Amino acid sequence: MIDRLLVTRCREGSRDALRRIYEKYRDSLLILAIALSHDVNLAEDAVHDVFVTFAQNIGSFKLTGSLKAYLAKCVANRVRDLMRTRHSQAKALNSERVSSVSVDLNEPGRLIACNEELRLLSSALAELPDEQREVIVLHIHGQMRFRIIAKSLGISVNTVKGRYRYGIRKLHSILNGEI
Amino acid sequence: MSSAEKIKKLFAKSKVTVNSKLDDRIVSDALTAFDRPEETGFILAGLNTWRMIMNKTMTKLAAAAVIIIAVFIGIHYPGGSINGASVAFGEVLGYIQASSYNFDLTGVPITEEQPSEAFTIQAMVLELGRLRLDCSAPKISSITDFNTGKCLLIFHQNKAGVLMEDLVINNMKTEDGIGGIYALFSRPIENLWNLQDGTQENLGEKQIDGRTVTGFRVFQKDPYFEYDIAIWANKTTGVPILVEVLPKPLDTSHPSIKWIMNNFILDVEPDEKLFNLEVPEGYTLSQQWDLDELQPDAEPSAEAKKIVEMLELWPRGQKTKAVEILLGLDWAQPLEFGNEPYIFSITEKAYISLKFEDQKRAWDEIRAIAETVMQIVYEVLNLGQAAVSAQNYKEAERYFEAGLQLGKLLDRNPESMIMVRLVGIAVEKKTLNEMINLYTTTKNQEKLRDAEEQLRAAEAEKEEIKKKARGQ
């Protein structure tokens, strides 16, 4: 209900409401983006772009479900686009594996610091195929149902469940001994 | 603890600490965007137009090109000369002052994976700054007036138009006025030669269709593309013969399309009506209305209220009650619905005229109710089949008749949404087949003939609707 009020106020022109939406979901969306990309810079950009677009389109935005799930879906889409773009750029420059490049998540001077758990998780997730990683992150962290993920990705629910199952199994073996 | 639970726990413990500089950057940019609602309309119009196009199964690329070019011309049209250059390449061009001309614009997608088919769009330029592009498959036109920044997209198959106002986005203009390929279309044709900026490469002479042509090549750049432009003109008259433009997207994830302009016809006198920014007669202008503005809400008739109640009861699990209501309906009574449910009130034209967000709202509701109708129909057909098995033919006919009437209800208005009518016809066909089986069993020849005739009529109607939807 609070989200609906915030969106309504936002649509009425309240800058404060927009700021509150950002503050409310910032951390969750950043964790989502980092888990998906294992790249803090890309995560910053993705969350930035989603909020800017959200602010731009708020006049015609209608909240039909959960605002958190909506924003999570937008961030996931943006991360996918940015990863694809950077991968293409890397390909053009003949550099190898930029899309899966390992980034020091706690490099000094960064605007986002990740705790130990997130670093561990993000590193392990980076070893999964993109499609398994996306399903796991959206389901567990984005709290999206398999059916919604399937619809959003344009694939069957069974495929989503399969990716989740295989991904979890692999993730567990990667993290074995550390969790 | 299972693997999934351990991983969930790890997610739950994950934390980030954010420097206030990041907050400042994001909040500041978001608030700036928030304060510029005038840009939003364009962005939404663009996205939703895409949605309209991409929903089609027919050729998408050519259609997309008509829109993209129209939109980008708007974006890139800042006025002034291209790159400030005014060097005439050949004196022979001096006399060409064609203000209106036609040409063919062919797009050749450059893909690594597989060869893609080229597509050709007919282009017409009316004086300065008015451009019409026509794509034949699917039938889509765009009319752009650079003086006002307005662009009308016409979807002929849907008999619908979308007017995009304030097409020019101020912050996307470049300072030096480079318009790349897009500016080429909206300038006097001799300006093709004026692209020379001293860095051009002379391509010499060659033969095209038996004519000697001379050409040059230039490279240009704007914030989005690097352009490799080659221009060939008749050596004697200076009339442009062939222009090849390869815009290389700076964002390499974007596809690249090579554009070829040829078959130039100068000094034409095009029909000004073709550049009119009003939708043609009989067409509907899209994005105009809210759902609530469509029509005054009317008091539904008694039988209509019962149908609405049935549709509400079914999703709540009160299936027996819903079927009882259906069987008790008096179909001879007037059936007048209010605005809602939209499945009974919205016509195809009204749907097209809705703003996109309202279209989505209406579509979601209509789809959900159509699914409910189908479920109810399957239920009564199952009940009817059970009655047939029990040789209770009267009861079976009652069930089938109820299903048939429900189908006819969806298909009763020829102006209704195509999707709704097709669902109605599907229901009719399904129930009529059951009725044919029933009357074959009971050897009721008269009713059998009638059911078969209705089935043929339903099939013919379906084909007619599909043809109409395809624009045939």
Least confident piece of the model among B50-54, B207-211, B465-469: B50-54
- The conformational region for residue A38 under phi > 0 = left, psi -120 to 50 = alpha, else beta, is left
Q: CB of B239 within 8 A of CB of B266?
A: yes
pLDDT in tens, B371-385: 889 889 989 999 999
pLDDT in tens, B416-425: 888 888 889 9
Arithmetic mean of pLDDT, B326-353? 86
Q: Which helix (H) or strand (E) holds B416?
A: none
Cβ-based neighbours of B26, under 8 Å, separated by 6 or more: A22, A26, A47, A48, A51, A52
Is the CB of A6 inside 8 Å of chain B's CB atoms? no
Boundary (domain end) residue, out of B266, B285, B304:
B285
Question: What's the total number of domains in chain B?
Answer: 2
Is the CB of A56 inside 8 Å of chain B's CB atoms? yes
Q: Is the pLDDT of residue B237 over 50?
A: yes
* Token pair for A109: 């001077």
pLDDT at A38: 87
Boundary (domain end) residue, out of B285, B307, B331:
B285
Q: Decide if B7 and A22 are in contact by the 8 Å CB cutoff.
A: no
Arithmetic mean of pLDDT, A167-173? 89
Q: Is the pLDDT of residue B200 over 90?
A: no
Residue A137's domain comprises: 2-175
pLDDT at B72: 41
Domain match, B333 and B277 both: no
* B172 against A30, higher pLDDT: A30
Q: How confident is the model at residue A147 (pLDDT cuts 50, 70, 90)?
A: confident
Arithmetic mean of pLDDT, B184-202? 59
Q: Is the pLDDT of residue B177 over 50?
A: no
Q: How far apart are CA B34 and CA B47, in angstroms?
A: 18
Boundary (domain end) residue, out of B240, B270, B285:
B285
Q: Is the pLDDT of residue A62 over 90?
A: no
Residue B11 lies inside a defined structural domain of this protein = no
Mean pLDDT in chain A? 80
Give the ranges where B298-444 is alpha helix by DSSP (H). 302-313, 319-328, 342-345, 348-353, 356-389, 393-410, 418-442
* Minimal C-alpha gap between B108 and chain A (Å): 21
Q: Considering only CB atoms, which chain B residues are within 8 Å of A141?
A: 11, 14
Closest partner residue to A88 among B9, B40, B253, by Cβ? B253
CATH of the domain at B77: 2.50.20.10
pLDDT at B81: 27
Interface of A with B in 72-111 (CB under 8 A): 81, 84-85, 88-89, 91-92, 110-111
* Minimal C-alpha gap between A6 and chain B (Å): 14
pTM of the complete model beyond 0.80 = no
pLDDT at A94: 47
Residue B4 lies inside a defined structural domain of this protein = no
Interface test with B, best of A20, A56, A135 (most B CBs within 10 A): A56
pLDDT in tens, B94-134: 333 446 778 888 878 776 655 566 778 888 888 666 788 88
3-state SS class at B415: coil
* Token pair for B260: 């070829």
Arithmetic mean of pLDDT, B394-415? 93
Is the CB of A5 inside 8 Å of chain B's CB atoms? no
* Minimal C-alpha gap between B365 and chain A (Å): 12
Domain match, B274 and B316 both: no
Share of chain B above pLDDT 70, in %: 69
Cβ-based neighbours of B431, under 8 Å, separated by 6 or more: B377, B381, B400, B401, B403, B404, B407
Q: How far apart are CA A43 and CA A75, in angstroms?
A: 9
Nearest partner of B376 among B365, B384, B386, B387, judged by Cα? B384
Q: Considering only CB atoms, which chain B residues are within 8 Å of A170?
A: none
Q: Considering only CB atoms, which chain B residues are within 8 Å of A92?
A: 252
Residue B163 lies inside a defined structural domain of this protein = yes
Question: What's the total number of domains in chain A?
Answer: 1
Residue B227's domain comprises: 24-285
Domain match, B214 and B308 both: no
Domain match, B350 and B449 both: yes
Q: How many CB pairs under 8 A join A and B?
A: 132
Domain match, B254 and B324 both: no
Q: Which residue in chain B is spatially nearest to A108 when comparing CA positions?
A: B19
* B68 against B435, higher pLDDT: B435
Domain match, B302 and B375 both: yes
Domain match, B343 and B463 both: yes
Domain match, B422 and B465 both: yes
Arithmetic mean of pLDDT, B210-238? 77
Domain match, B279 and B311 both: no
Q: Which residue in chain B is spatially nearest to A32 when comparing CA positions?
A: B11
Q: Decide if A114 and B15 are in contact by the 8 Å CB cutoff.
A: yes
Q: How confident is the model at residue B360 (pLDDT cuts 50, 70, 90)?
A: confident
